[in-house]
Amino acid sequence: MRGDEAIVVRMFVTWLKSEGWTIDALRDHWDVIASKNGETLYCEAKGETSEPGLDIHTAYGQIICRQGEVDEQTARYCLVIRDEPRSLRAALRAPARVRTLLRTSIYAVAHDGAVRIV
């Protein structure tokens, strides 16, 4: 993990902890794994890049392929991105219906560390 992606992950982890999530040991190539109230959140993060469309499409592919490694009925998945227009547009290309079927949410991280669910 390099550059802005590492910053996004660090800010997201700080936010998760403030929301009562416990950060689990990283495993199976996920950028962040967190648990709270019997639920586990598996996250793939992408920082701000010159090619957000390509990078975010890659992230969706990583999430889909890695779901087979997770054997938990309570698992949820998330795409963590920079809260900036090009990344948001790219992330929202996957229709809400598809994201719901994949149990995948989008979390956007601003430069000041604020996090919102898109």
One-letter identity of residue 77:
Y
pTM recorded for the entire structure: 0.91
pLDDT tens digits, one per residue of 51-87: 888 999 999 999 999 988 787 788 999 999 999 999 9
Band (2; pLDDT cuts 50, 70, 90): low
Question: How many domains is the chain built from?
Answer: 1
Q: CATH number of the domain that 40 lies in?
A: 3.40.1350.10
Please state, in angstroms and as integers, the Cα–Cα distance from residue 77 to each residue in 7, 25, 37, 40, 70, following that order.
20, 16, 16, 8, 10
Domain enclosing residue 65, as ranges: 3-117
CA dist 20 to 16, 42, 46, Å? 7, 16, 23
pLDDT band at residue 48 using 50, 70 and 90 as cut-offs: confident
Structure tokens at 77: 């998945």
> Stretch 40-59: mean pLDDT, rounded?
91
Q: How far is CA 93 from CA 58, 110, 117, 118, in A?
A: 13, 20, 16, 12
Give residue-wise pLDDT tens across range 8-33.
999 999 999 999 999 987 766 899 99
